[in-house]
Structure 1
Amino acid sequence: MSTLSIQGVSKRFSSETIAVDRVSLDVADGELVCLLGPSGSGKSTLLRMVGGFEDPTSGRIAIDGQDVTHLPPERRPTGMVFQSHALWSHMNVFNNLAFGLKLRRRPKVEIRDRVEAVLDLVGLKGYDRRMTNQLSGGQQQRVALARALILEPKILLLDEPFASLDQHLRERLREEVRDIQLRLKITTLFVTHGQDEALSMADRIVVMHDGRTEQADRPDVIYRDPQTPFVAGFIGTMNFIKGHVENGRFRHADLSVALAVSDGPVTLAVRPEALDLVAPDDRSRVVIHRVTDFGTHGLIDLHLSDGTRVKSMVPSPEPFQAGQAVGLAPRSFAAFRNDAKLSGIHHAR
């Protein structure tokens, strides 16, 4: 059983620079949790503190109940994979993988067996005598993963490991890494700024912004029920339409829907797949700007009368063309006021 507990951890680089601000997180045995956020959100700094490469200003980090807050990296039961691979170019693959075991003075037979086993695990059987500069970027990242796994860490730390790879290779490797993680049942903390990686790999996503946790939940909940405007806008594509609620109805120049909240300004958050296009009424001034055919679906870019740009996903783009006037009919939406969510997901009536 391997668990990670982060309790009120903060990191200040100066009196004015707070990289991580009182973050708490518990990662269960065998769970893969993704830290997701834009550059500067504090996610990599938090990961480095778990790995021992940064010291927290305050707070506590424990692995299996043991306080590791001030232990150096080599004394923590963690394995880290960096974005830059960080392989030794003067060593072949075997020696890159064997290095940590040699430092621990493991027998030669054990080292050889464990190197062969971990290379087989990451799909590089027979590559032990290759120099690292003879490998592709994807193969180098597999070696970096193997080097972290060969020491049998309790916690695997992944710091944007696919960021330097092309899209096709990135998709294939993240599937392979997730398969390996599930097979080994290793507790994993994974940093990325890619929504697709987080949504496809994680058991839970922690969305970070300005050093703080905005929301932590399952990927489907994060996508369908965002709790803040930042989460709503950062995960997937979201349309934001500003209007005003009066007598239980949200009103905008181009649409009106029932919304049982107190009167006042409100911003609707509507996913493109939940924004239907209908025949325009006499007051509608919504105009199609662009139609994109993705084969499996169409994406319609629209201009609202106040200049707001929104998108609608349709099964087929054929009925639509640029310049066409349409009406909007949101099927479901979230509502925000002053950066706070107003109850749950609303469905149009």
Structure 2
Amino acid sequence: MARLTIKGISKSFGATYAVRDVSLDVEDGELVCLLGPSGSGKSTLLRMIGGFERPTAGSILIDAKDVTSLPPEKRPTGMVFQSHALWTHMDVFNNIAFGLKLRRLPKAEIKERVEQALALVGLADYGRRITTQLSGGQQQRVALARSLVLEPKILLLDEPFASLDQHLRERLREEVRDIQQRLGITTLFVTHGQDEALALADRIVVLRDGYTEQIAPPDRIYREPETEFVAGFIGSMNFIRTTVRNGISQHAAFSLPVPVADGEIVLAIRPEALSLVAAKEMGAGIVHRSIDFGTHKIVDVDLNDGTRMKAMTSSNSDWTMGTSVEPVAAAFRAFRGNRLVHESVAVPTQENNRVFGHA
């Protein structure tokens, strides 16, 4: 389909920067998620790729052709917005056919392509429906079909499922991923939902305050976060603020080897990497509560210094409120000034073996 190259793109509104010096290569047929909190610059970046915003600096290339100064209608891109942006005075067929009519294609070809697009998104018999008669999920499918019918080289999706309920979001994102893979279309998907990004993406671009924090496949983003921000933004993470002296963490509950220069650090420990051992006397923490999710339990533990941590345990564990425990970290990452300074090697424990079903 197409290869997208972004070189040093920035966008400022007066003295305020929404996007700062972002560079990215998106391969042919790849689905990349732009992930970040509100105000991180992800939608602005997508709008610049689509031609709806002009960059302050940098360039955008599609198949090695510079499209930075081209308007949206001159770019080989199709964009699906969160708001659907359907015309309520037109039926579904004419909403989808609108762009093809602007291109002055023959009526027979328009009819064939619209019907193919409707079938692709699972709305083969909905052509004569008025858009106001459709559910939110159906309207979003029409918006997707309206973009796909133009056969764009690059598909841009700006939080298209944000207004839908959770179950519908999950179903539609699976459908979009299936369609994207069948067509082999290069796709950028903006979301602030980490689960959505982890489920959809070949790679994730994590943005904060207009800057790129990390670009990597979902498994690496989760297991190998390069910054404290990414570690906290993706999945659940326990953070322990402590001091290193002579290569040892000085925290009472986590006296761990951290071979870095003396000073303050932040230990990051995933709940699934944290095991609990019952303490015979007063331990480093006390069980606050245990929440059963069916496949596993999440146990909240209050450490003696007031920090609350979460440990993932097997579904048949029985940690009752008030039990004194010692937390044991099977793996951790250490950050200083938002940057990774040390990562430990995972050490299997009996508890996390049970959680993940290992022998």
**Same fold per superposition (TM over 0.5):** yes
- After TM superposition, the structure 1 = structure 2 runs for residues 6-17 of structure 1, keeping only pairs within 5 Å, are 6-15=6-15, 17=16
Counterpart mapping for 1:66-215 below 5 A = 66-215=65-214
Distance 2:198 2:113 in 1: 32
Question: Partner residue of 1:49?
Answer: 48
* Equivalence for 2:244: 245
Partner of 2:274: 275
| 1:313 matched residue in structure 2 | 312
Give the stretch that moved more between structures: 312-321 or 144-153: 312-321
The answer to whether the 8 A contact 1:259-1:346 is kept is no
- In the alignment, is the contact (CA less than 8 A) between 1:291 and 1:317 conserved in 2? no
The separation in 2 between residues aligned to 1:34 and 1:63, in whole angstroms, is: 18
| Paired residues of 1:280 and 1:327 also in contact (CA < 8 A) | yes
Q: TM-score, normalised by structure 1?
A: 0.97
Contact 1:299–1:317 (8 Å) recurs in 2: no
Q: Which amino acid aligns with 1:3?
A: R
- Secondary structure of the residue aligned to 2:147 is helix
Question: Residue type matched to 2:10 in 1?
Answer: S
Opposite residue 14 of structure 2, the aligned amino acid is: S
Secondary structure at the residue paired with 2:129?
coil
Deviations 1:196-217 (A, max 9, x none): 1100100000000000000000
SS in 1 for 2:241: strand
The letter of the residue matching 1:218 is P
- Identity between Structure 1 and Structure 2 (%): 66
Secondary structure at 1:255's aligned position in 2? coil
- In the TM superposition, what is the alpha-carbon distance from 1:192 to its structure 2 partner? 0.2
**Counterpart check, 1:20 vs 2:23:** no
Aligned-pair Cα RMSD in Å:
1.3
Q: Partners in 2 of 1:60 and 1:283 — Cα distance? A: 61
Where in structure 1 do 4 or more consecutive aligned residues deviate above 3 Å? Answer: 343-349
Q: Which runs of 5+ in 2 are unaligned?
A: 349-359
After superposition, what is the alpha-carbon deviation per residue over 1:79-135, rounded to whole angstroms, capped at 9, x for unaligned? Answer: 000000000011000000000000000000000000110100000011000000000
Count of residues in correspondence between the two structures = 348
- 2:352 is aligned to none
For the pair 1:256 / 2:240, whether they are aligned, the reply is no
Q: CA deviation at 1:282?
A: 5.1
Say whether the 8 Å CA contact 2:50–2:77 is kept in structure 1: yes
Q: Which residue does the alignment assign to 2:299?
A: 300
Match of 1:58 in 2: 57
Q: Secondary structure at the match of 1:96?
A: helix
Q: Distance in 1 between matches of 2:312 and 2:205?
A: 27
SS in 2 for 1:29: coil
TM-score, with length taken from structure 2: 0.94
AA matched with 1:240: F
CA contact (8 A) 1:36 1:193 kept: yes
CA positional deviation for 1:250: 1.7
Q: Look up the match of 2:354.
A: none
CA distance in 2 between counterparts of 1:287 and 1:271 reads 18
Task: Please report how far the alpha carbon of residue 247 of structure 1 lies from its aligned counterpart in structure 2 after TM superposition.
Answer: 2.8
Cα deviation, residue 344, structure 1: 3.5
Q: Residues of 2 paired with 1:344 and 1:313: CA distance?
A: 20
Q: State the distance in 2 between where 1:248 and 1:9 align.
A: 41
| 1:263 positional shift | 2.4
Q: CA deviation at 1:318?
A: 4.1
Q: Which digits, 9 at most, give the CA deviation of each residue in 1:219-260, with x for residues without a partner?
A: 000000000000000000000011122233222122222222
Query: 2:109 and 2:87 mapped to 1: Cα distance?
Result: 22
Q: What is the alpha-carbon distance in structure 1 between the residues aligned to residue 319 and residue 56 of structure 2?
A: 56
| Bigger mean CA offset, 315-324 vs 154-163 | 315-324
Asked if the contact 1:258/1:348 (under 8 Å) is kept, the reply is: no
Cα distance in 1 between the residues matched to 2:280 and 2:215? 41
Deviation at 1:317, TM superposition (A): 5.7
Q: Aligned equivalents of 2:172 and 2:132: distance in 1?
A: 19
Counterpart Cα distance in 2 of 1:318 and 1:344:
29
CA distance in 2, matches of 1:304, 1:146: 53
